């Protein structure tokens, strides 16, 4: 099951930091299924609880394009060359390489870039899924479903973005640089990589998950004896939480 949001109910997920990201480069990605095309939707991003800098990956209204946006004293964004399909699973990715390069992808391709110079908004202090948090205000709520959200502290390549869109778990793609990964299975809003767990607001629900290829659970062999096997639940718990109900 994935996380389902209703914009009219102001539903979202949030935590009070940037998940260890403090500079370029970095990458954000997730799967999403939009319930409508009548409003701009936030997928995943960084914002500020009292001022205006922000960085986020979103989906536009009407045109249905995916965009990667950065704001410091002004706002610049890249917009994909085609739009997403309403009511279908789509993969979105934003690669923020430097002050002068950001890219957006839809379904592993349809890439667009923007080169306007924008500094990393270091005062951003929250991570959100399903809403934009800027200047103490919430806007651009998600109306639909989000799953398999991840953040990397590198700029993923075109081929790596295409692998994510082909259905491979973020755990397969540059895993040493994956700093946060929220499968968003059922109502467990946990980060199984970096421990950056999210808090749900206004009771988002669950929906069917997108098809994903995941790593197999490890084979655990331990010598039996006093306390033997006590580490097995620790090793296995993340894999159990990743199963799709």
CA distances from 104 to 1, 79, 101, 236 (A): 26, 6, 10, 35
pLDDT digit string (tens) for 207-217? Answer: 999 999 998 86
pLDDT of residue 52: 80
pLDDT > 70: percent of the chain: 88
- φ/ψ of residue 56, rounded to 5: -160, 160
CA distance 57 to 26: 12
Instruction: Give this prediction's pTM.
Output: 0.88
The answer to whether residue 157 scores a pLDDT higher than 50 is yes
H or E element that contains 237: helix 232-241
Kindly report, residue by residue over 47-98, the tens digit of the pLDDT: 988 888 899 999 999 889 999 999 988 999 999 999 999 999 999 999 999 9
Asked whether the beta carbons of 13 and 141 are under 8 A apart, the reply is: no
The domains of the chain, with CATH numbers, are 2-215 (2.60.120.200)
**Beta bridge mates, 168:** 213
């Amino acid at each position: 099951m994935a996380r389902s949001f209703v914009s009219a109910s102001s539903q979202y997920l949030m935590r009070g930091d940037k998940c260890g990201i403090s500079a370029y480069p970095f990458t954000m990605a997730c799967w999403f299924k939009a319930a409508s095309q009548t409003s701009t939707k936030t997928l995943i991003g960084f914002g500020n609880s009292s001022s205006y800098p922000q960085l986020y990956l979103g989906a536009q209204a009407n045109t249905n394009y995916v965009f990667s946006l950065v704001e410091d004293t002004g706002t610049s964004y890249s917009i994909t060359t085609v739009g997403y399909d309403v009511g279908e699973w789509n993969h979105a990715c934003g690669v923020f390489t430097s002050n002068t390069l950001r890219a957006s992808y839809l379904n592993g391709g349809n890439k667009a870039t923007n080169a306007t110079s924008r500094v990393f908004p270091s005062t951003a202090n929250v991570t959100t899924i399903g809403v934009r948090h800027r200047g103490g205000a919430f806007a651009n709520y998600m109306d639909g479903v989000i799953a398999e959200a991840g953040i990397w502290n590198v700029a993923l390549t075109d081929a790596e973005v295409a692998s994510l869109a082909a259905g491979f778990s973020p755990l397969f793609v540059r895993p040493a640089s994956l700093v946060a990964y929220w499968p968003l299975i059922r109502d467990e809003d946990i980060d199984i990589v970096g421990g950056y767990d999210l808090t749900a607001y206004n009771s988002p629900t669950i929906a069917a998950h997108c098809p994903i290829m995941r790593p197999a659970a490890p084979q655990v062999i331990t010598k039996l004896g006093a306390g033997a096997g006590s580490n097995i639940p620790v090793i296995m718990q993340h894999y159990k939480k990743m199963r799709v109900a």
